[in-house]
Chain A
Amino acid sequence: MPQMNMVQAINDALRLEMRKNDKVVVLGEDVGKVGGVFRVTAGLYDEFGDDRVIDTPLSEGGIIGTAIGMALYGLVPVPEIQFSDFIFPAYDQIVSELAKFRYRSGGEFVSKLVIRTPVGGGIRGGHYHSQSPESQFIHVAGLKVVCPSNPYDAKGLLLASIRDPDPVLFFEPKRIYRAAKGDVPEGDYTVPLGKAQVIKPGKHVTIIAWGAMLYEALDAASQAMEKGIDAEVIDLRTLWPLDIDTIIESVKKTGRVVVVHEAPKSCGFGSEIVALINEKAFLHLEAPPVRVTGFDTPFPYTLEMEYLPLAHRILPAVVQTAQY
């Protein structure tokens, strides 16, 4: 099986689906000739031409609005937003239109896109190249939200997203674009949406993470193991709809939970996860659920490694929760 990084795996998925389905088009800023600023769409322009791999004018509202129109016509657009920090000029189209088409037309119209966009910090990007806005989309009824942590899942989840009947926000953790490597099968396969994965089974405490922070959670878990704490680590993979069963099953076993995410703490996705655990497994809890997250500040430049919920901050939370 070929070894790939995240960038290559996502590229492979796009290529495969574009060969299979001539309705799939890619559009965005710099996605064409140069293959994207992170090179995720490299080579697609040469293979599929400028009708299907389209460099657009610099307007996210334009990209998403026209992609919705294409989707209404029957194409399957996979627009790229260059950084998720720049998705907001398109927020109106996503929130008011994309998310509501099926509902507001009584199912008469469906607008189905997969919006790919790099997410997260740790690349010295400051306020506007580092944010994690996932909960701002989860909160909008009608959008699915995906965030892979490894090349295998990235390819399989992207293929599943493109074939899914609903609009999907596909967040790509840019910090591990090249750092996360692994075996990726050639050819077609999917990883189902809505299914989390237990990456490391354990019995004392459950750590829930996704994207780039999964590796920090695993690092903290292995350090905790040296202290005799056996943590279970869950990679959510799909954030919405959430795989609540896997979470509840784990929490029933451990009774203790730490949720990790880069986004600010308040109203971050961790808040929802903890609320659900309280609703569904309260009597199984042995300790208060804990969130280790970014702070409620804009994403800082120089102090970014202090801002991010890296292993050095996850470990004490895991130890305290386990010993509570």
Chain B
Amino acid sequence: MSATPSPKAAPGVKEFAHDNGKNGHHAVSPLVTYEPIRVMREDGSVDPARDPGLTDARMVELYCTMVRTRIIDERLVTLQRQGRIGFHIGSLGEEATIIGSAAAARKQDWIFPCYREFGALLLRGMPLQTYVDNMFGNGNDTVKGRQMPDHYSGRAYNFGSVSSPIGTQITQAVGFAWAAKMKKDDLVTLVYFGEGATSSNEFHNGANFAGVFKTPTVFLCRNNGWAISVPASKQSASQTFADKAIAYGIRGVRVDGNDLLAVYSATREAIERGSRGEGATLLELLTYRLSGHSTSDDPKAYRKDAEVDQWKSKDPNVRFRTWLERRGLWNDKKQTELEEQAAADLQECVKVAEKAPPPPLESMFEDVFQEMPWHLREQRDELLKGPRAKGHGH
């Protein structure tokens, strides 16, 4: 490994508004691919060296998932504003980073999510109703209404369990992959996080262990420009987030995160490297959070409309759609049908979810331990025979 200081920025790093490089000197490492990987060209052709070779049907399927994800996002924000759900945190603008990478995973590969990856879960086959029940925290919710909306689990889909603390999933994904490696199972883990999470203890630990033990892990850093109100430039003085790979002796690759095929291609390559025993890869997916951080956030307080508009023009869904249209795989009629169907499907699920009862009171005391000890039985019985809170369950 050589890291020669060079007076000029590595190629490609100036292209994104939130790039760093303020230190004026940059190391260029052979471990890092600086020029963001891009597959879909403006003219509708693909970079042949990088073409993942997806069938037309698969590409259309992935596009449809991106659109559904977008419609769900928009509609859930409205439901939150109406007070019908408590919260939503989505992936508006980041759909390609999530759908593209999840699509590249093989069936046996596991996903360790952050909190924006419900699109990956839908792609992996979780029924929409299951997701919507989680948004309502009702009695049908598979996590029993215990967690906030968007904190789902998906064991049946080789998908982990969402928690709020930033970065905790990173080390877990490394350990999971490491265990699979010990057992000689051909399995790779994909772990999602934002660029803010690269500042966490867990990112350091995860990347370091992954490097030392050569675990088959793909670190998917969604660099969406912002960690709530803190810009990416304040998270790190590194020239890029991919540069962080150098210190841990793993590969770092920058990817145009709004190019679905590029995300697919780069993730696939990282999975194959992991599967061949060549260790972990850190992908820096360059994208933008078009919405607020969550429904609790008003981004107008800290960022300019012009910046948002600039990224709106790079909308990953529009980009993929245009590309599909050029190839005769999509048209306005299909778009309208898809949007109507997606909205109707969601509405139906919402209707069912709203009618469902809240989780039963006694469920609060279950799953703390496998067997309920005396003190929890006692507390449960006390709650059951006591008076009910106002507006129980709603």
- Which residues of A are in contact with B by a Cβ distance under 8 Å? 29-30, 32-34, 37, 55-59, 61-62, 85-86, 88-89, 124-129, 265-266, 295-298, 300-303, 305-308, 310, 312-313, 316
Contacts and interface: CB of A to CB of B under 8 A. Distances in A.
B109 to A, nearest CB: 27
Identify the interface centre among A126, A297, A298, A313: most chain B CB within 10 Å of its CB.
A126
Contacts of B368: 296-298
B301 interface: yes
A296 B376 contact: yes
B207 to A, nearest CB: 14
B393 interface: yes
The 3 closest A-B pairs by CB, nearest first: A302-B145, A126-B148, A128-B164
A205 to B, nearest CB: 18
Contact of B389 (A57, A59, A305): A305
Contacts of A34: 228-229, 301-302
A155 B358 CA distance: 40
Contact of A37 (B296, B376, B389): B296
For chain B, the bracket of interface size reads 35 or more
Given A30-B229, A37-B228, A55 B234 contact: yes
12 contacts: A57-B196, A57-B199, A57-B230, A57-B236, A125-B148, A295-B365, A300-B145, A303-B359, A305-B390, A306-B389, A312-B386, A313-B387
Contacts of B145: 300-303
B375 interface: yes
A306 B364 CA distance: 9
Contacts of A124: 86-87, 148
Contacts of B383: 295, 306
B201 interface: yes
Contact of A89 (B200, B230, B234): B200
A58 B379 contact: no
Given A57-B234, A58-B200, A295-B379, 20 more contacts: A30-B228, A32-B229, A33-B301, A33-B302, A34-B302, A37-B296, A37-B297, A57-B196, A58-B196, A58-B199, A86-B165, A86-B166, A89-B201, A124-B87, A126-B164, A128-B163, A296-B376, A296-B379, A305-B392, A310-B389
Contacts of A297: 364-365, 368, 376
Contacts of A265: 375, 379
Contact of A306 (B165, B196, B388): B388
A85 B165 contact: yes
A303 B379 contact: no
A59 B302 CA distance: 20
B199 A62 contact: yes
A260 to B, nearest CB: 14
Contacts of B379: 265, 295-296
A58 B86 contact: no
Nearest to B145: A302
Identify the interface centre among B228, B229, B297: most chain A CB within 10 Å of its CB.
B229
Contacts of B363: 303
DSSP majority for the A interface? loop
B230 A58 contact: yes
B301 A303 contact: no
B124 interface: no
Contact of A295 (B164, B364, B389): B364
A86 B138 CA distance: 26
B164 A85 contact: yes
Contacts of A62: 199
A266 to B, nearest CB: 7
Contacts of B163: 127-128
A302 B137 contact: yes
Contact of B229 (A55, A85, A305): A55
A97 to B, nearest CB: 15
Contacts of A57: 196, 199, 230, 234-236
A312 B389 CA distance: 7
Contacts of B158: none
A301 B388 CA distance: 16
Contact of A307 (B165, B228, B364, B387): B364
A159 B316 CA distance: 50
A150 B321 CA distance: 54
B180 interface: no
Contact of A126 (B146, B235, B358, B388): B146
Interface string B338-358: 000000000000000000001
Nearest to A83: B164
Nearest to B138: A302
Contact of B166 (A58, A266, A301, A308): A58
A58 B196 CA distance: 6
B328 interface: no
B146 A300 contact: yes
B76 interface: no
A302 B375 contact: no
B375 to A, nearest CB: 6
Contacts of B359: 302-303
B197 interface: yes
B229 A129 contact: no
B302 A58 contact: no
A186 B200 CA distance: 40
B143 to A, nearest CB: 9
Nearest to B365: A297
B7 interface: no
A133 B86 CA distance: 24
B181 interface: no
Given A88-B165, A316-B387, A33 B229 contact: yes
Nearest to B379: A295
Nearest to B147: A126
B132 to A, nearest CB: 14
A312 B383 CA distance: 11
